[in-house]
Amino acid sequence: MAGEGRSKDLGKGLGKSGELDFPRPLTTVDVVIFTILDDSLQVLLMQRPAGEGEPFPLSLALPGGFVDVTKDRDLAACAARKLKEKTGVTSPYLEQLGSWGSATRDPRGWSATHAYFALIPADASVLANDAHWFPIRGGRLKDKLAFDHGDILATAIQRLRNKVEYTSLPAYLMPPEFTLPDLQRVYEIVLDRPLEKSAFRTRILSADMIEPVAKMRRGPNRPAQLYRLKKGSEPVYFVRTFNPPE
Amino acid sequence: MAGEGRSKDLGKGLGKSGELDFPRPLTTVDVVIFTILDDSLQVLLMQRPAGEGEPFPLSLALPGGFVDVTKDRDLAACAARKLKEKTGVTSPYLEQLGSWGSATRDPRGWSATHAYFALIPADASVLANDAHWFPIRGGRLKDKLAFDHGDILATAIQRLRNKVEYTSLPAYLMPPEFTLPDLQRVYEIVLDRPLEKSAFRTRILSADMIEPVAKMRRGPNRPAQLYRLKKGSEPVYFVRTFNPPE
DNA sequence: CATAGTTAGTTGTACAGTCCAACTTACTTA
DNA sequence: TAAGTAAGTTGGACTGTACAACTAACTATG
């Protein structure tokens, strides 16, 4: 950051703090919210409003909006606010994804958005009535999105998949209690390939991130041990990836 | 991104595109530029100007500055421009690091910076005369930095170290021709721990990212094979990390 | 000119963790 | 009571690192 450089760039002398008078890009925050629903990875999208002057009227878009300098202490708080407004979830996994800024991404002018991505269990959310889940099949979304939100979503999917190879991130997509086969299924949904059962169990159990509860999941066959996330557990990083496909 | 939400947040009706009239945060780009020099990881820093109204006068800071909406097509172009201005390097490894935005990080008002990090070989650079290399010892910088640049730098160091565990990133810190022991040394400098010679060689050579040139590095002892990066090579991701310390 | 010193590079054994496949266990349903 | 199914275990093959000892190729030195 600086003020330095700017006055030089323009090649003319500016009064003190004159450099603050230059055109400022629009600043927004968008959130890519993932969950697992119906045995599939899903993302939360909203329909753009139709009002006059609104860009991409009625298109699908990521939840987000302008940073409110009077309300948002910082970017993460702004992202958490959006998440809360749309899903009611307050304490999810929330990670910064990156930022996208250019002269052309928003017809209203030079704009930059700070993108976050969140993982929540589907059953923990109560959606705002203009928000809906959309399934991601084959690693992509069917629909076209407003702005460059398609790029942002693609990056988020890639980041999620990449990290799932060597971290415990899917744990944040689980309900409070779950079985190891449940967790493995979520890994497989995100990665879109089957994993080895025994290697999976060894890895997860030796990572010390979940603990058994004194209950079993009962069903039409052998009961499965229920587990919960150990509290305060940061994501775990494994020293190997699962063996990659092909 | 949206305009939606904003008018609702404020609880009052706004004329068309009225939402664009709200206070906009300052938008800047900063670049964390790493190199290897004197057997040590170093970062490029500049001294802040002393002019009236300038925040953090004479403090050390990352190179960066305001996005110039008339000049910068997008954020990456802006970062590349900063890098070019300070080092003369045009084609480095340049990756987005993240963004930092809050009401308090800049005394001039709510501001958000988009941080990038770059890796360049030291000998490829010709520094601007207000820029200098500063060594990072023990994973930290001695000096305090302006703004939240200390946080940004710490994040960059952490990200670099983390990725070096399982990628070929250090290759971008090397001169055009180098030996395997040279490359291993750079890994060791960044990670701040010794690596196994034979495992290191096996991994790098089987990654198909470098190729031998028909020359040897001669010295006071056994000559070493020289290699160069295969052109067009994206960073390589290994399926294991080196065995982590302790 | 031989020998010591130093760094490049290889080899071999131990070990850890995945892959793959077969197996046992515990339950429901017919 | 037997068949079916999913949970969970076990063991051998394989891959790649850890560790350590080894060989190779050069310079410097007495």
Chain mean pLDDT for chain A: 90
- Residue A13: band (very low, low, confident or very high) from pLDDT cuts 50, 70, 90: very low
Residue B244 pLDDT:
60
In angstroms, rounded to a whole number, what is the distance separating the alpha carbons of residues B201 and A239?
19
Chain A contact for B9 (CB, 8 A cutoff) = yes
Statement: residue A236 has pLDDT above 50: yes
* Bases along strand D below 7 A from a protein CB: 4-11, 16-21, 24-28
Statement: residue B5 has pLDDT above 70: no
Residue A8 pLDDT:
34
B133 to chain A, minimum CA–CA distance in Å?
18
Say whether both A93 and A159 belong to one domain: yes
Residue B4 pLDDT:
41
Closest by alpha carbon to B81, among B136, B147, B145, B128? B128
The nucleotide minimizing the C1' distance to residue A179's CA is: D7
Statement: residue A5 has pLDDT above 90: no
Contact call for residues A112 and A26 (beta carbons, < 8 A): yes
Establish whether the CB of B202 is closer than 7 Å to any nucleic acid atom in strand D.
yes
Domain count, chain A: 2
Residue A233 pLDDT:
74
Say whether both A222 and A143 belong to one domain: no
Tell me which protein residue sits closest to nucleotide C17, measuring alpha carbon to C1'.
Answer: A199
Say whether both A108 and A37 belong to one domain: yes
Statement: residue B194 has pLDDT above 90: yes
Chain B residues with CB-CB distance to A22 below 8 A: 66, 68-69
Residue A191 pLDDT:
95
- Asked whether residue A34 is domain-assigned, the answer is yes
The rounded Cα B194 to chain-centroid distance in angstroms is 23
- Asked whether residue B17 is domain-assigned, the answer is no
Structure tokens at B104: 């308090």
- Asked whether residue B10 is domain-assigned, the answer is no
Say whether both A61 and A114 belong to one domain: yes
| Nearest chain A alpha carbon to B9 | A68
Residue A63 pLDDT:
97
In angstroms, rounded to a whole number, what is the distance separating the alpha carbons of residues B237 and B166?
6
Write the DSSP assignment of chain A as a string of letters: --STTHHHHHTS---TTGGGGS---EEEEEEEEEEEETTEEEEEEEEPP--TT-SSTT-EE-SEEE--TTT-SBHHHHHHHHHHHHH---S-EEEEEEEEEESSSSTTSSEEEEEEEEE--GGG----TTEEEEE-BTTB-SS-BSTTHHHHHHHHHHHHHHHHTTB-GGGGGS-SSEEHHHHHHHHHHHHTS---HHHHHHHHHHTT-EEEEEEEE--SSS-EEEEEEPTTPPPPB-SBPPPPP-
User: How confident is the model over B111-136, as a mean pLDDT?
Assistant: 94
In angstroms, rounded to a whole number, what is the distance separating the alpha carbons of residues A22 and B72?
14
- Residue B118: band (very low, low, confident or very high) from pLDDT cuts 50, 70, 90: very high
Residue A6 pLDDT:
38
Residue B13 pLDDT:
31
- Asked whether residue B19 is domain-assigned, the answer is no
Give the up-direction half-sphere exposure of residue B213: CA atoms within 13 A in the CB hemisphere: 14
Chain mean pLDDT for chain B: 89
Say whether both B93 and B177 belong to one domain: no
| SS3 call for B75 | helix
Say whether both B89 and B208 belong to one domain: no
Burial class from Cβ neighbours inside 10 Å (0-12, 13-18, 19+) for residue B100 reads buried
Residue A33: other Cβ atoms inside 10 A = 27
Say whether both A29 and A85 belong to one domain: yes
The proportion of chain B whose per-residue pLDDT surpasses 90, expressed as a percent, equals 80
Q: What is the pLDDT of residues A171-206, one digit of tens each?
A: 999 999 999 999 999 999 999 999 999 999 999 999
Residue B16 pLDDT:
43
Spatial neighbors of B155 by CB under 8 A, at least 6 apart, are B97, B98, B115
Say whether both A136 and A73 belong to one domain: yes
Chain A contact for B4 (CB, 8 A cutoff) = yes
| SS3 call for B222 | coil
Q: What is the pLDDT of residues A65-82, one digit of tens each?
A: 999 999 999 999 999 999
Sign for the CA dihedral angle at B119, B123, B124, B130 comes to positive
The proportion of chain A whose per-residue pLDDT surpasses 70, expressed as a percent, equals 91
CA B61 / C1′ C23 distance in Å: 63
Residue B188: give the domain boundaries: 168-229
Chain A contact for B175 (CB, 8 A cutoff) = no
Verify whether the Cβ–Cβ distance B16 to A52 is below 8 Å.
Answer: yes
Among the partner residues A24, A46, A99, nearest to B24 by beta-carbon distance: A24
Q: What is the pLDDT of residues B23-80, one digit of tens each?
A: 999 999 999 999 999 999 999 999 999 988 899 999 999 999 999 999 999 999 999 9
Single-letter amino acid code for the residue at A242 = F
Q: What is the pLDDT of residues B84-104, one digit of tens each?
A: 999 998 877 999 999 999 999
Verify whether the Cβ–Cβ distance B16 to A61 is below 8 Å.
Answer: no
Verify whether the Cβ–Cβ distance A102 to B3 is below 8 Å.
Answer: no
- Residue A160: band (very low, low, confident or very high) from pLDDT cuts 50, 70, 90: very high
Residue B245 pLDDT:
54
CA A216 / C1′ C27 distance in Å: 12
Chain B residues with CB-CB distance to A104 below 8 A: 73
Residue numbers 150-189 of A with CB closer than 7 A to any atom of strand D:
179-181
Residue B11: other Cβ atoms inside 10 A = 6
Residue B19 pLDDT:
61
The nucleotide minimizing the C1' distance to residue B220's CA is: D27
- Asked whether residue B237 is domain-assigned, the answer is no
Chain A residues with CB-CB distance to B85 below 8 A: 5
CATH number at residue B87: 3.90.79.10
Verify whether the Cβ–Cβ distance B2 to A53 is below 8 Å.
Answer: no
Say whether both A135 and A195 belong to one domain: no
Residue B75 pLDDT:
98
Chain A residues with CB-CB distance to B74 below 8 A: 101-103
Statement: residue B10 has pLDDT above 70: no
- Residue A215: band (very low, low, confident or very high) from pLDDT cuts 50, 70, 90: very high
In angstroms, rounded to a whole number, what is the distance separating the alpha carbons of residues A75 and A98?
12
In angstroms, rounded to a whole number, what is the distance separating the alpha carbons of residues B102 and B111?
6
Residue B9 pLDDT:
34
Chain A contact for B118 (CB, 8 A cutoff) = no
